[in-house]
Structure 1
């Protein structure tokens, strides 16, 4: 493995803007006003799923898995939820109800996907690595499921809005050509490549196995209903598989990986094409008020 193995997150930061990578990683500048709210919520549902899958045998009944999940959620919420992250106690209660509803649906004993995930899980929080043409990649896989013909790698997310799909995969080539700015979908492509190829280097992979990859949004659909005593929240999650996209756009994805990887290892941090990056990335960038590249354009104007 190359000494400079990079994660999909780092590659995607560079794809968003090379200068953003410079500030975030090489200079390690702490961005202002960083909230821990959704980070902690992500930890809660990731750790709940991990613990449930690790504790489940393939023949455990659905009710047992469901009860285990709800008990685990209560523990994780107490450990990870911080009152100071929320605008009010009401806000914290709502978020707790929403996250609980997501896991309730995921581990629904009457057909929730989480029941199957727990029974089929063979590895959680699995560190994987791969290398191609001297460019190393690494990342942590949330869950690996054993399937009838191979492995299915899962990355759990809050939702899959904006995630790479068959209808948006052409944007990868547009990003590569500099005709569009699609760092989020490019990141999804980086994750897909890293996890599909990385899991093939694990001991549980056998030659000839089919390897699939999906993002799974736990809160893809939520509904809110007022009740006489307050409110109720329901949630539904479902996957977005990107295996076929990886196969169809394989060369484009690996060209994007090579360009980002070489830019990072070569410390090439000048934003190009700057006009597109300035229009698409700068308005939401946490470093915009200190960025010399952006400020230079303001002076010229």
Structure 2
């Protein structure tokens, strides 16, 4: 998807994340729409499992065995039509079992509770309003500059979740991701106050050595998703509920075990609740909403910088060159990188 990054238009959270890594990378990927890299086979497999889970949730089962069976049936149908080239029949069978093991772990960890939470919302919303995959949410950010008419310019930032469930007094948005690796140290923190706030602020300080585009991008994404959930909540007449945002990895093999003797595959599942680490409790105490004024104001500033149309890394280049360039596929056409690699005597 191409982000045009102009006022009155829309951006995506993926685009923001790219921009945080490097403005020049954003320019190549989202302005010029240059596609790099090989086919995303991991993403394709996740898409199969994501769709199967959403189909099962839409089916309405809340019993764990029934929920898992519906999802397995949907996965089997989609897998039979999946045309990835494996090196052997054994590998294809193994990869399917990995997906089935991940599905079982999901149902055990949160799937049954989330299915019940969706059922609790049946009286207020149709299932298609709550279940995707890739259910669209958005946040509109007002920019500080004024346009010619004297009205504040605004940009819409688009995000997606895969489904929305009820959980007591909360409305919970869930997004399936490949892994939680991009969260970095954020996945091991439970409060905004302290080093999370410090590292977030330091990332934008040109005098600092801190470069944390992954965790910072996750916090900006959380700000967008929670605002989108609040809009959905209000449309459903559930104004008394707070909103939360979870990420669930479907391709994390760190907990995968294979018993070749029993021909069995098992795995665990880690769920990341980004709400607590995002919420500024001072702001929460003032508004009774899951908000963070520091993150929200920085989100507006990043969007304003992006919309300015300048993609010069400027004072951040040293940190970008050290951390982002080594794994960047656009270095072959990046004038900033080439200038550091090529020099002439005289």
- Number of aligned positions between the proteins: 291
1:262 and 2:263 matched: no
Q: Does 1:29 align with 2:34?
A: yes
Following the alignment from structure 1 to structure 2, what is the Cα–Cα distance between the partners of residues 226 and 140?
36
Counterpart of 1:71? 73
Counterpart of 2:246 in structure 1 is 214
The structure that has the greater radius of gyration is 2
In 2, Cα distance between equivalents of 1:68 and 1:22: 43
User: What is the aligned partner in structure 2 of residue 128 from structure 1?
Assistant: 137
- Structure 1 contact 199–205 (Cα < 8 Å) conserved: no
Query: How far off is 1:205 after superposition?
Result: 5.1
TM-score relative to the length of structure 1:
0.88
Structure 1 match to 2:55 = 51
- Mapped contact 2:249–2:271 kept (Cα < 8 A): yes
Deviation at 1:270, TM superposition (A): 0.7
Normalising by structure 2, report the TM-score: 0.77
Aligned pairs for 1:37-116 (under 5 A) are 37-56=41-60, 60-79=62-81, 81-84=82-85, 86=86, 89-108=89-108, 112-116=109-113
CA distance in 2 between partners of 1:27 and 1:161 (Å): 28
* Cα gap change, 1:208 to 1:68, in 2 (>3 Å): same
Q: How big is each residue's C-alpha offset from its partner over 1:22-68, in whole Å with a ceiling of 9 and x where there is no partner?
A: 1001111121x3222112012112111211111115xx432221210
Q: Give the Cα separation in 2 of the matches to 1:88 and 1:294.
A: 41
Contact 1:11 1:257 in 2 (8 A): no
The unaligned stretches of length 5 or more in structure 1 are: none
Given candidates 176, 182, 187, the residue that maps to 2:217 is 187
Structure 2: 5+ residue runs without aligned partners?
Answer: 1-6, 122-129, 143-153, 281-290
Looking at structure 2, the residues matched to 99 and 176 of structure 1 have their Cα atoms a distance apart, in angstroms, of 39
Inter-partner Cα distance in structure 1 for 2:311 and 2:87 = 37
What is the alpha-carbon distance in structure 2 between the residues aligned to residue 260 and residue 280 of structure 1? 19
Q: CA RMSD in A?
A: 2.3
Q: Secondary structure at the match of 2:309?
A: coil
Q: How far apart, CA to CA, are the structure 2 residues paired with 1:124 and 1:187?
A: 24
